Amino acid sequence: QSVLTQPPSASGTPGQRVTISCSGSSSNIGGSTVSWYRQLPGTAPKLLMYNDNERPSGVPVRFSGSKSGTSASLAISGLQSEDEADYHCAAWDDSLNGWVFGGGTKLTVL
């Protein structure tokens, strides 16, 4: 059971906008920044978003992040087939004195 809660799956058609949620508490998301990672099958996770809503160099602008209270979201607009992957959220937890992750969301492009 992961400390951060993500939906196990999400889907959309090419061109659509999809949102993936990440729910936590005041000891993690509510008191820390959130980062997001994309993981293609059989590969290592890769940083997709940091500090809630900042994109690393090379990440397209159609990826955006937001946070409100103890929940965060990752939005992907103009969905493309290559966006099919697992998406994970993460945050530092002050109560656990450690990092916590969501269970991951498998995104399918129909």
Partner 1 sequence: QVQLVQSGAEVKKPGSSVKVSCKSSGGTFRNYALHWVRQAPGQGLEWMGGLVPMFRTANYAQKFQGRVTITADESTSTAYMQLSRLRSDDTAVYYCARGGEYQVRYTWFDPWGQGTLVTVSA
* Residue ranges that bind partner 1, judged by CB under 8 A: 2, 32-33, 35, 37, 44-47, 50-51, 56, 88, 90, 92, 96-104
Question: Given the complex with partner 1, which of 13 and 42 has the nearer CB atom?
Answer: 42
- Paired sense of beta strands 98-101 and 85-93, if any: antiparallel
By the 8 A CB rule, do 91 and 32 touch?
A: yes
Q: Which is nearer to partner 1, 6 or 71 (CB)?
A: 6
CB of 12 to partner 1, least distance (A): 21
Strand ranges (E), 13-104: 18-23, 35-39, 46-49, 63-68, 71-76, 85-93, 98-101
In whole angstroms, how close is the CB of 52 to partner 1 at the nearest point? Answer: 10
Residue 98 C-beta: closest distance to partner 1, Å: 5
